[in-house]
Amino acid sequence: MKVKLGHIALQNPVIPASGTCGFGQEMSEWFDLNILGAIATKGTTLEARYGNALPRIAECPAGLINAIGLQNPGVDEVIAHEMPALRKLYRGPIIANISGFSIDEYAYVCERIDKESDAAILEVNISCPNVHNGGMAFGTSPEAAAEVTKAVKAVTNKPVFMKLSPNVTDIVSIARACVEAGADGLCLINTVLGMRIDIRRRKPVIANRYGGYSGPGVFPIALRMVNQVSKACPGIPIIGCGGVSNAEEVIEMMMAGASAVEIGAANLQNPQVCREIIEALPAVMREMRIDHLQDIIGIV
């Protein structure tokens, strides 16, 4: 079940997605974190953020809608406390997810995290749909995405994976721009911008009005985009994300072109889903006559 993200080796391809397991300590109450391929931490910004007003998460058919708004304690607290605490619990690769509201902020936070030995990969989020004047604003045009990529690569030595938004007309052009600007890898997709209305209250179900839709309903969209980008950017490792909830879908995502797979919304429904997927993978591999997961990446 071993796979590689560039030169980073993972014992299996299963990664809890950023924002669905905090900084790892919450998930450690359910199972031994050391069974995971890697862990993507909660998105980190320069300053501490409370996030958006409540309510900011709601269930809907085939998934959920959320507008958390990048709630996090800020980069100083993450470096001083969160990452060291996670390292005490987890020996594998830590993927540090980073967000910003300006190119300078992205670069500064990445430069700070780059110096931390606990972080193996920087996952730069240019795709969050739930904050104003930041996040997705940088991921909706090739030029802006390339500018962030160049700024981050200029101040870092660790592998940089750009996390892309599905809320665009042409994700391939944005992926190519990131790769041409120096990205070591890509992560896709983030949530699809959506909305639900409480017809009895005559108001949106979440205070932010719009939010990110995730869960099984977005899986076909994520699969298609991963496949498109993998064909357009050969040789670039991709972390596939979006609606994955079982071992068969991990295999499907890898066949589409993903080298590893992040599990997001499914963690909120079932905190043990990552463990269950890892335990189920060997039997699915035997059934599919797969000897090495690395061999099926991008075969479709």
Q: What is the pLDDT of residue 181?
A: 98
Which residues are known catalytic residues?
Answer: 128
CB 253 within 8 A of CB 259: no
Local confidence band at 131 (pLDDT 50, 70, 90 cut-offs): low
Q: CATH number, domain at 270? A: 3.20.20.70
Domain range for 55: 3-296
Pair of tokens at residue 165: 């938004």
DSSP 129: T
Spatial separation of the C-alpha atoms in residues 196 and 60, rounded to whole Å: 8
Q: What is the pLDDT of residue 136?
A: 63
Residue 237: is its pLDDT beyond 60? yes
Question: 143-153: buried (b, 16+ CB within 10 Å) or exposed (e) per residue?
Answer: ebbbbbbbbbb
Express each pLDDT in 259-285 by its tens digit: 999 999 999 999 999 999 999 999 999
pTM for this entry? 0.96
Residue 37: is its pLDDT beyond 70? yes
Q: 229: helix, coil or strand?
A: helix
Exposed, middle or buried, 230 (CB in 10 Å: 0-12/13-18/19+)? buried
- Domains held by the chain: number: 1
Nearest to 242 by CA among 2, 20, 6: 20
Mean pLDDT, rounded, of the chain: 95
Spatial separation of the C-alpha atoms in residues 273 and 147, rounded to whole Å: 37
DSSP 136: G
Q: 238: helix, coil or strand?
A: strand
Residue 195: is its pLDDT beyond 80? yes
